[in-house]
Amino acid sequence: MAQKKDTRKYADRREYLIQAVRKRRQVVRMKALEYKKGKCEKCGYNKCTEALEFHHLENQQKEFGISSKGYTRSWIKVKAELDKCILVCANCHREIHAKIAALDGNIKMKTG
């Protein structure tokens, strides 16, 4: 018996696909937060997961941004990229980029 050809178009499945990608991104983000212990590595903040961000220690080794395109990649690739990052709250992340915090001497601050 011949298989029926799927004649659906993207427009027919658009909303389903958008929701599926959104759900996957949420699942991968929660796994990533859990993998990085779910709290700011500088100050210990853990009240709101939306306020936690991933900061690459060495920008030259960055293959992709965790938050931008990372959640659509395999967990193995995301995990490898997470190993190059620290988890910090939004305030500490801004301080790092403003060169105010040195994370207790654990990273070198980029100058210039």
Question: What does the pLDDT look like over 43-65, one tens digit per residue?
Answer: 999 999 999 999 998 877 888 88
Considering the chain, what is the average pLDDT of its residues?
A: 83
The answer to whether residue 15 is domain-embedded is yes
In a domain, 27, yes or no: yes
Better pLDDT: 58 or 111? 58
Residue range of the domain that includes 81? 11-105
Predicted confidence (pLDDT) at residue 41 exceeds the cutoff of 90: yes
Which segments within the chain are labelled E, that is strand? 52-56, 85-89
Residue 3 lies in a domain: no
pTM: 0.72
Q: Does the residue 110 lie in any domain?
A: no
**Does any domain span residue 19?**
yes
* DSSP class per residue in 78-106: HHHHHTTEEEEEHHHHHHHHTT---GGGT
Number of domains in the chain: 1
* % of the chain beyond a pLDDT of 70: 83
